[in-house]
């Protein structure tokens, strides 16, 4: 096998820009991935871009919350022109089949929508999934607006906005380029109890703790579990997180940001001291060449990353990350490498 070497990178994995500068970049005709507050997205001119709503970013100056700037990433288009496609709950399972035989797909999904739930639960079983490189993120809103505003996804070619559909850009690549997807998860399973679930879903009342059926909310309260730490499981060698959204002890219910699966054993994660420094230490040297990235809003909040850097990588801080399947509390980045 030929050794792979990094291609000369695009200008970082994206930058925060003003509305005027973003509009100028669009008018130059390139294909762009954009993240910003919805009000800014609706002021952009028509062009080759796709976008999702979010006001949290790892910018070139560090972690930042802003409704006044847009995060812009120039997508690699070294071959044929990319294709933008909308997906709803009826055709979402076709996403990998629609992807180019050799290329990269970037997907943006509005949080709390039916397509979000469907992708989270069923994407691992979609036909051709894991055979075609797919990355992406879950669009969100400012946390102050939860319950009052809905996340949106936008197609710049048609200037159409959707709260109930996902948007993908399928990017063909020449055979000489290989998109390498990396998942950077700081969490490892702790030494505590084994936790499993009787059914798959975004919420749970009962679970098995070391084989004994218990109420999960009661267990978390009694054990004094820090729910900023996710559940972690080994998915075929990759550590995958499921983050806690809410624990309602009175109702005996726990809600998650991603589904738990009924055939997986989880443990509460070990604590991670020094989030920003841990990210910088965990990144390999070639991460400097990353051409696209996203990170989790929970890492931003719990790690107190505002004003902090996570190494050289920039990107939106999202309501979920996609590296084939839905992830939580994880950084995802893509590097293009010469074969």
Residue 9 has pLDDT above 50, yes or no: no
Q: How much of the chain exceeds pLDDT 90, in percent?
A: 81
- Mean pLDDT confidence for 37-43: 98
Q: Count helices and strands (H / E) in the chain.
A: 7, 28
Assess contact for 234 and 273: CB atoms under 8 A: no
Amino acid 291: pLDDT: 87
- Neighbouring C-alpha atoms within 13 Å toward the C-beta of 261: 17
E strands of 93-193, at which residues?
Answer: 103-110, 134-139, 153-155, 160-162, 166-172, 177-184
Q: Single out the residue of 244, 225, 264 nearest to residue 329, CA to CA.
A: 244
Model confidence pLDDT, tens digit, residues 70-96: 999 999 888 789 999 999 999 999 999
- Confidence label for 188 from pLDDT (cuts 50, 70 and 90): very high
The mean per-residue pLDDT over the stretch 1-29 comes to 71
Instruction: Give bridge partners of residue 86 from the DSSP assignment.
Output: 167
Over range 248-260, report the average pLDDT.
94
- 284: which 2 tokens? 């390999």
Average pLDDT value for residue range 319-328: 95
Q: Write down the residue that tokens 């991603």 correspond to.
A: 258
Of 226, 241, 219, the closest CA to residue 208 belongs to 219
Task: Encode pLDDT of 259-314 as tens digits.
Answer: 999 989 999 999 998 877 887 788 777 676 788 999 999 999 998 999 998 888 89
pLDDT at position 222, please? 96
Residue with tokens 């050289």, as numbered in its chain: 312
3-class DSSP assignment, residue 100: coil
Query: How many other β-carbons are positioned within 10 Å of the β-carbon of residue 132?
Result: 21
CA distance 58 to 308: 8
Predicted local distance difference test score (pLDDT) of residue 7: 38
pLDDT at residue 12, rounded to an integer: 52
Residue 251: Cβ-neighbour burial (10 angstroms; 0-12, 13-18, 19+)? exposed
Position 59 pLDDT exceeds 60: yes
How much is the average pLDDT of 60-66? Answer: 94
Q: Which residues contact 307 (CB under 8 A, 6 or more apart)?
A: 62, 63, 64
Task: Give the mean pLDDT of 146-150.
Answer: 92
Q: State yes or no: pLDDT of 5 exceeds 50.
A: no
Taking the C-alpha atoms of residue 64 and residue 300, their distance in angstroms, rounded to an integer, is 9
**Mean residue pLDDT across the chain:** 92
Cα separation of 148 and 159, whole Å? 23
105-109, 232-236, 324-328: segment of lowest average pLDDT: 232-236
Task: For residue 295, give both structure tokens.
Answer: 């990170």
pLDDT of residue 31: 96
Residue 312 contacts residue 133 (beta carbons within 8 Å) = no
């Amino acid at each position: 096998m030929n050794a792979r070497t990094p291609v000369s990178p695009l200008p970082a994995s994206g930058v925060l820009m003003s509305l005027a500068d973003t509009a100028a970049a669009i008018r130059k005709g390139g294909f762009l991935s954009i993240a910003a507050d919805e009000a800014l997205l609706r002021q952009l001119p028509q062009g080759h871009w796709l976008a999702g709503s979010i006001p949290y970013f790892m910018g070139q100056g560090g972690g930042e919350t802003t409704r006044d700037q847009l995060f812009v990433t120039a997508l690699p288009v070294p071959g044929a022109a990319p294709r933008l496609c909308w997906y709803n709950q009826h055709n979402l399972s076709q996403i990998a089949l629609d992807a180019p035989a050799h290329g990269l797909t970037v997907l943006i999904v509005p949080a709390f929508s039916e397509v979000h739930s469907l992708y989270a639960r069923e994407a691992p079983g979609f036909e051709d999934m894991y055979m075609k490189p797919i990355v992406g993120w879950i669009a969100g809103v400012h946390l102050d607006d939860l319950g009052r505003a809905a996340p949106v996804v936008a197609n710049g070619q048609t200037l159409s906005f959707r709260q109930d559909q996902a948007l993908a850009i399928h990017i063909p690549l020449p055979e000489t380029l290989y998109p390498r997807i990396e998942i950077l998860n700081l969490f490892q399973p702790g030494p505590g109890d084994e936790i499993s679930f009787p059914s798959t879903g975004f919420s749970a009342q009962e679970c098995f703790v070391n084989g004994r059926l218990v109420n999960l909310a009661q267990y978390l309260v009694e054990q004094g579990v820090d729910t900023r730490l996710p559940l972690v499981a080994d998915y075929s060698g990759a550590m995958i997180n499921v983050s806690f959204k809410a624990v309602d002890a009175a109702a005996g219910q726990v809600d998650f940001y991603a589904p738990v699966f009924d055939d997986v054993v989880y443990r509460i994660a070990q604590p991670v001291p020094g989030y920003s420094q841990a990210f910088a230490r965990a990144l390999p040297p070639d991460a400097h060449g990353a051409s696209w990235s996203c990170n989790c809003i929970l890492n931003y909040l719990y790690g107190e990353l505002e004003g902090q850097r996570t190494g050289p990588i920039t990107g939106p801080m999202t309501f979920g990350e996609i590296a084939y399947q839905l992830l939580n509390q994880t950084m995802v980045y893509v590097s293009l490498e010469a074969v």
